[in-house]
């Protein structure tokens, strides 16, 4: 078989463009492809919700690739093991209640499982703004006031090069901020419209010093809506609501991702 370079190019551009066009109006948009975002995408897609994840980096997985201080092992607690088992991620019990995984296997298996469940992932695309409207996504006047109805996207390379190139937009019924410590979507909302988050002060409260035991619990407790239409999962949850960071243990990330999917699926079912 003789290969044609132009056919190769056409195949890539044509299929990718169709994927993007199919993602302009969706049920859930996830920002950030770390463990929480991938887990949320997996469970939302399994429930039949049209879900798309945007990751600004070349690779997905967030900080999980490096385990703890570049030792590529991940620790998970007992409560999160059922999720690991569902994905088919192999575990070794270090001692009672503490399970080890290979970080590379963990990331790649989470990603593969989420895609096979139906999640669509666009890497190298970042979020630079949000769309806030007085209407819901059916065009009805919102009784609750303004809500986030979509994302404003641009290529990561454009942002890095500081090029003045206008972005494009997508519409979603719900947004998950799973961008990690920075909680970037929450930060955009505060910068654009002021102290309007559903926190004690209306601002991001900021993450507290590392405390694995407390951080792993509060990350699930803090997985909730932060502004109409926007939810947090993973480390973004503790960054917004003032929980501690938890360091190189990742069970809370998976539990938070699953929890955000449950909350949003229940909301959209109403």
**Domain chopping of the chain, boundaries:** 24-126+137-269
Residues 6+ apart with CB under 8 A from 55: 32, 33, 37, 121, 122, 123, 124, 125
In the prediction, which pLDDT does 270 show? 85
Question: Per-residue pLDDT averaged across 220-224, rounded?
Answer: 98
Q: Read off the pLDDT of residues 15-64 as tens digits, 9 standing for 90 and up.
A: 999 999 999 999 999 999 999 999 999 999 999 999 999 999 999 999 99
Q: Is residue 153 over pLDDT 90? A: yes
In the prediction, which pLDDT does 134 show? 84
Q: Is residue 145 over pLDDT 90? A: no
Q: Does 170 or 270 have the greater pLDDT score?
A: 170
In the prediction, which pLDDT does 137 show? 54
Q: Read off the pLDDT of residues 89-125 as tens digits, 9 standing for 90 and up.
A: 999 999 999 999 999 999 999 999 999 999 999 999 9
- The CATH class of 24-126+137-269 is alpha beta
Share of the chain above pLDDT 90, in %: 95
- What is the spatial distance between Cα 75 and Cα 64, in angstroms, rounded to a whole number? 10
Evaluated on CA atoms 39, 44, 46, 49, the torsion sign reads negative
- What is the spatial distance between Cα 219 and Cα 51, in angstroms, rounded to a whole number? 22
Evaluated on CA atoms 158, 161, 166, 171, the torsion sign reads positive
Q: pLDDT-based confidence at 78, cuts 50/70/90?
A: very high
In the prediction, which pLDDT does 144 show? 52
In the prediction, which pLDDT does 27 show? 98
Q: How far apart are the first and last CA of the chain?
A: 54
What is the average pLDDT score of the chain?
Answer: 96
Q: Is residue 142 over pLDDT 70? A: no
Question: Per-residue pLDDT averaged across 142-154, rounded?
Answer: 84
Q: Is residue 138 over pLDDT 70? A: no
Q: Is residue 136 over pLDDT 90? A: no
Q: How many CB atoms lie within 10 A of CB 156?
A: 15
User: Which tokens belong to 237?
Assistant: 């949850």
In the prediction, which pLDDT does 32 show? 98
Q: Read off the pLDDT of residues 234-267 as tens digits, 9 standing for 90 and up.
A: 999 999 999 999 999 999 999 999 999 999 999 9
Share of the chain above pLDDT 70, in %: 96
């Amino acid at each position: 078989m003789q290969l044609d370079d132009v056919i190769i190019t056409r195949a890539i551009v044509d299929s990718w463009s169709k994927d993007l066009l199919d993602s302009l109006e969706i049920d859930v948009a996830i920002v950030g492809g770390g463990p929480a975002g991938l887990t949320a995408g997996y469970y939302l897609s399994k429930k039949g919700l049209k879900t798309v994840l945007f990751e600004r980096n070349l690779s997905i997985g967030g900080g999980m690739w490096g385990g703890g201080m570049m030792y590529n092992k991940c620790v998970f607690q007992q409560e999160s093991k059922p999720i690991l088992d569902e994905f088919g991620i192999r575990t070794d019990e270090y001692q009672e209640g503490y399970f080890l995984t290979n970080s590379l296997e963990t990331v790649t298996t989470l990603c593969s499982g989420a895609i096979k469940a139906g999640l669509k992932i666009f890497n190298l695309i970042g979020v630079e703004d949000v769309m806030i409207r007085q209407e819901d996504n059916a065009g009805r006047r919102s009784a609750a006031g303004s809500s986030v109805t979509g994302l404003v996207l641009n290529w990561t390379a454009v942002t890095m090069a500081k090029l003045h190139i206008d972005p494009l937009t997508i519409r979603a019924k719900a947004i998950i901020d799973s961008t990690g410590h920075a909680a970037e979507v929450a930060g955009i909302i505060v910068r654009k419209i002021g102290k309007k988050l559903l926190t004690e002060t209306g601002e991001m409260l900021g993450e507290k010093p590392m405390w694995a035991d407390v951080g792993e619990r509060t990350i699930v407790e803090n997985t909730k809506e932060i502004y109409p239409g926007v939810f947090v999962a993973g480390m973004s949850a503790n960054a917004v609501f003032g929980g501690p960071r938890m360091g190189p243990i990742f069970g809370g990330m998976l539990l938070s991702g699953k929890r955000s999917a449950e909350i949003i699926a229940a909301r959209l079912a109403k």
